[in-house]
Amino acid sequence: MHLSVPRWFRRAALAATALAVGSATLLTAHPQRAAGAQPPFKIGLLIPTSGNFAAPGEFMKQGLELYLAEHHDMLGGRHVVIDQADTQGNPAIGLTEARRLVEQDHVDVIVGPLSNAVDQAIIPYLTAHKVPAIYPVLSPDDITQRTPAHYVVRTSAASSQTTQPLGDYAYKVLKYRKVATIAFDFSFGWQSIGGMVATFQGDGGKVEKQIWTPLTASDYSPYLSEIPRNVDAVFCSFSGAAAVNFIKQYKAFGLKMPLVCQGNTVDESTLPATGPAAVGIISALHYSAALDTPANKAFVAAYTKAYGHEPSYYAEGTFDAGLILDHAIASLHGNVANTQAFLEALRSVHVSDAPRGPIAFDAYGNPVENVYIRRTEEVHGTLEDVVIKTYPHVSQFWTFNPKTFLAHPVYSRTYPPCNACT
């Protein structure tokens, strides 16, 4: 279905932005608009709106809608329509919906999906049909590493990009020496945990146990019973409804070891449902709604005014996808017919003042951006991911030499090997 942003919504969002920033611009100076009438630019928004990941999927929709509302439904001088499709978090359904968007609805670009499993399922199709896509949330490491996905522009981060600093922080700052890990048993879980384990073990830490849980798990008690009680902390990585269930059950199980988690585990989209059990969790991500910058405060104010709740990483991701599309389309004067030129323009965008902070792309087409270490706290009755340390301009390779990094296997269920598991 085609969804233009309603006028009432646009007025509300623009009013909120004006209130938040006055006459100042929300982000960097807007690109020069292209002249001349052109057909609408069609975005295929491929997100989960049902199933376990429906909540973050709704935030993704809202983030993109907000950017369009603030820019009069225009990107780079082109009027925009959104064609939405529900992946249900299922790779097979995601692929079917991607085909519909491309072959029946003839979208110009796909924005989404959310799940790494759906990400991977549609890449061969995008490649075969030469369809440009923006992946605005964490996605498989190798699409900008060993097996590049030429038609995908990742505007978020690699799955391990935010957790490599977190493993280093756990060892050097938190002084943890022995940990266990627990996470989803698929590529996102493997790679996000792999980043933590690689740096933590590289610094001298020991990993005593690694536990992997099925995507369909709702009862975590069999897995929680496997966690060693003599570790300093537990590394974890979950998202959506699974994150809520895991954290609540972890606390109810009586486990006292601190949780150190990939940031999606305590994302703002699920924190209200998680409740007080999340307090004290240390996490890492390239965004927090509590980030104290003018650009983010303006974004949060506009978003909260429009939707009645704070944004999440998922919302900020699609908001910035709109920002990057806007700059790229404007640089081409609205003409995106040449797919290769369009992809190059997208990867050439450099934003200095997005809500998350600066965004640039490395030689491999992956964003270089800040990573924030956060602690979940209750602030004035609301749970927030308070930023306690910023790692600026973090590469997907962390501090490793890219060629050396790429000579090793992608982080997986068995790599890096656990150095103290019995």
Q: Which pLDDT score is estimated for 218?
A: 94
* Distance, CA of 171 to CA of 191 (rounded, Å): 19
Other Cβ atoms within 10 Å of 419 Cβ, number? 14
Say if residue 1's pLDDT is above 60.
Answer: no
* Distance, CA of 422 to CA of 278 (rounded, Å): 30
User: Do the first three CATH levels of 2-157+292-369 and 163-290+370-407 match, i.e. the same topology?
Assistant: yes
What percent of the chain is predicted at pLDDT more than 70? 91
Confidence tier at 20 by pLDDT (50, 70, 90): very low
Range in 14-18, 87-91, 133-137 the model is least confident about:
14-18
Share the mean pLDDT of the chain. Answer: 92
The answer, yes or no, to whether the previous bond of 222 is cis (omega within 30 of 0) is no
The domains of the chain are located at 2-157+292-369, 163-290+370-407
* Distance, CA of 64 to CA of 137 (rounded, Å): 13
DSSP 8-state class, residue 158 = B
Q: Which pLDDT score is estimated for 31?
A: 43
CATH number, domain 2-157+292-369: 3.40.50.2300
CATH number, domain 163-290+370-407: 3.40.50.2300
DSSP 8-state class, residue 139 = B
Residues 6+ apart with CB under 8 A from 413: 185, 190, 212
Interval 23-60: pLDDT, tens? 333 333 344 444 457 899 999 999 999 988 898 999 99
Q: What is the pTM of this model?
A: 0.89
DSSP tally for the chain: helices H, then strands E? 13, 16
Q: Which pLDDT score is estimated for 243?
A: 96
Question: Is residue 20 within 8 Å of residue 297, measured between CB atoms?
Answer: yes
